[in-house]
Chains A and B, each alone.
Chain A
Amino acid sequence: MSAGNSNRAWWFIAFPLAIVFLFTALPTVVGIGLSFFEWGAATEARSIGFENYRALLQDDQQFWRALRNTLIFAVATVPVTLLLAFLFASAVNAPWFRGRTVVRTLFFVPTVVSIVAVGFIWQWILDPQAGVLNHLLQSIGVDRMFGRDLPQWTGESAWSLAAVSFIQVWRTLGFSLVLYLAALSSVPRSLYDAASVDGAGSWQSLWRIAWPSVWPMTIFLITTGTIAALQVFDLVWIMTGGAERRWMDVLNVHLYREFSNNRMGYAAAIGVIVLLLTAIVTLAQLRWMLSRGEVRL
C-alpha cells in the first residue's frame, strides 16, 4: 500500500469524524469544562472552581443515594444476566434442543422494543392497585409474606430497585444470549470430545470447557453491561417520571433533574463523575483486551 494514501484517506473520514466530534467529543469537553462553572438560565457563567464537586460530594445526600443505587443496580443486573444468558445459551446450543430459532427470537424481542413501550407495560404490570403482578401474588397468597401491604413496586420502597433490576435483566437477557450463542457455536466440537473421553459429564463440560472458551465474550458482556448499567436512564426515568426517589434514583436521573432545574454546571459535574466511572470500566477492559492481543491498533 502506498504511503501517499494520507490525503485521500482524509476524504473518507472527514465528514464522519466531523459529525462525531462536533456532536459528541466537543460537547463532552465543553461539558467537562462546564462543571467548573455555575451556569443557569439568565445567569452569566461564573467560574467557581471545584465548588460543584465539593457540594456534590459533601452536601448532596441524594447524589450518594443515586450513586449507591446505580452501583447496586450494576451489581444486581450484570452478573445475573450473564450467568442466565450463558446457561440458557448452552441449552439452546445443544444439539438436542428443540426450537432453537423460536426460543432465540422470543428471548431477543424485549431488547428491540422501544423503552417507552417497556416502561408502560411494566408500569402497568407493577401497578400496586390494579397491576397483574400484585393480583397474581394475592391470589396465590404470597402477599402475606410482605406484611400488611404489597410493596410499592414503583414507589418509595427498596423493592422498586429490585423491580427495575428485574426489568433490566428481562430486557437485556436476550442480547447476551444471542451473543453467547454465537460464541458457543464456534467452540470446536473436538474440545468436548476430548473432555468426554476423559470422563467429564455434561455439567463439567459446561464449566470446564464452554465457559472458559467464551471468556472473551464474557469480558465483553461484563464491560458493555456495566457501562450500560452505569448509564441507565431511560428505564428509570419512564418508571418514575423523574421523581426523586430514595431507592430508585440513579446518577443520570439525578443529573437530568439538576439540568431541568437549570443547575447546568452542577449537572455537568455529575456527568463527569459518570464519565469517570465509565472510563475506569472501559480502561480495565481495554487493558485486558490488549494484553490478550484481541485488538490490534
Chain B
Amino acid sequence: MNRWMQPSASVRVAAQVATWAVALLMAAPFAWMVSTSLKSDAEAIGRDLNWIPAGPASEWQWGNYAAAWEQADLGRFYLNSVIVALVVTAVSLVHNALAGFAFAKLRFRGRSALFLVLLATMMLPFQVYFIFAYVICDVLGYIDTLHALIVPFLASAFGIFYMRQSIQSVPESVIEAGRIDGFTDFEVFWHIVLPSVRPALGALAIFTFMWSWNNFFWPLIVIDSGERYTLPLGVAALASGLFVQSWPVQMAAATIITVPTILVFLLFQRWFVAGLALTGVKG
C-alpha cells in the first residue's frame, strides 16, 4: 500500500484535527464580531466571555445594526461602492484583456521592453506614486468625485499581466485558424480567445471587484465629502468621528461590510480559486 496515501491513523487524526482547529480559528474572529454586535455596551465590556449574547434572541441588540446603518449612512456608501466596483470591474476587464491579448499574441515593436516595464510597475509601492496621482486627478477635475475612484483603475499592470499569462496558453493553431477564416485581430480576440479564457476572466473579474470593494486608502485621499464615501471610508468615519463610541455598534458596522464580501466569495469561490491557481503556477 502506498504509504504516502495512508499514513498511520494517529498522524491522520492529528493532521485532520489540527487543520480543522486552525480553520475554525480563521473564522472565529468573525463569529466574535457578530456576537459582539448583538450585545449591549455593558455586556460587551464586561468580563464574561459569552459567544451568545444574554437573553433570548428577541432581546438581542438588533438595534445596533439600525444604529450603525443610520449613523454611518451606510446605504449611500453601499451604493457608491457598488457603482464604483461594477464599473471598474466591467471596463477594466475589457481593457486588460485587450492589452493582455496584444502582449501575448500580437507581434509589435517594443513588445518585450514594454512588457518588462509593465512588470516593473506592478512592483511599485503605492506610497511612492500616490502623491502625484492625486495631483493628476486634481488637474483632471476628478477629486471628490467617483471618477477618481474609477479612472485610475480602468486598467492595471496586474490585470494585463494576468490576462497575458492566461492567453498565452491558447494554442496558436486556433488563432491561425481564425485568421485563415478572415477574422480581424479584434474578432480573433473577441470570438476565439475570450471564450477560451473564460475561467481566467471570471477570476480576474472577482479579484478586481473585491479589490475595488475593499480599497481604502486611495478613496481616503481623493474623496472629501461624505456623500461620495465608499463603504470602508464610511465605516472608518464611524469610528473616528463619532461622539458616542460603542464597540457593539462598530462591530455591527463591520458585520454589514463584511458579510456581503463573504457571501460573494462563497458564491464564486470556485472561480476565485481556479483563477488564483492560474496565477501561481505560471508565476
Chain A residues with CB under 8 Å of chain B are 1, 3, 5-6, 8-10, 12-13, 15-17, 19-28, 30-32, 34, 84, 88, 91-92, 94-99, 102-110, 112-117, 120-122, 124-125, 127, 129-130, 132, 135-136, 139, 170, 173-175, 178-179, 181-183, 186, 192-193, 195-196, 200-203, 205, 209, 216-217, 219-221, 227, 230-231, 233-234, 237-238, 241, 252, 255-256, 259, 264, 267-268, 270-272, 274-275, 278-279, 282, 286, 289, 294-295, 297
Contact = CB atoms under 8 A, between A and B. Distances in A.
Q: Which of B23, B106, B213, B250 has the most CB of A within 10 A?
A: B23
Given A9-B108, A120-B254, A182 B6 contact: no
Given A19-B155, A103-B20, A173-B26, A13 B262 contact: no
Nearest to A32: B128
B129 A28 contact: yes
A97 B3 contact: no
Ranked nearest first, the 9 interchain pairs of A and B with the lowest CB-CB distance are A182-B277, A27-B132, A16-B155, A271-B128, A202-B7, A27-B129, A12-B102, A9-B108, A23-B152
A16 B147 CA distance: 16
Given A114-B232, A174-B26, A278 B125 contact: yes
Interface in B233-279: 235-236, 239-240, 247, 250-251, 253-254, 257-258, 261-262, 265-266, 269, 272-273, 276-277, 279
Interface stretch (B42-50, B58-66, B194-202): B42-50
Contacts of B19: 88, 91-92, 97, 103
Contacts of A5: 106-108, 185
Contacts of A97: 15-16, 19
The SS class assigned to the B binding surface is helix
The SS class assigned to the A binding surface is helix
Interface of B: 2-7, 11-12, 15-16, 18-20, 22-27, 29-30, 32-33, 36, 44-47, 49, 95-96, 98-99, 101-103, 105-109, 111-112, 114-121, 123-133, 135-136, 151-157, 160, 179, 185, 189, 210, 213-214, 216-217, 231-232, 235-236, 239-240, 247, 250-251, 253-254, 257-258, 261-262, 265-266, 269, 272-273, 276-277, 279-283
Given A117-B258, A268-B131, A202 B3 contact: yes
Contact of B277 (A96, A114, A179, A294): A179
Q: Which of A24, A127, A129, A216 has the most CB of B within 10 A?
A: A24
Contacts of A6: 107-109
A92 B45 CA distance: 38
Given A9-B108, A25-B129, A107-B26, 11 more contacts: A17-B118, A21-B121, A34-B132, A97-B19, A106-B26, A114-B231, A117-B258, A217-B280, A238-B236, A279-B123, A289-B283
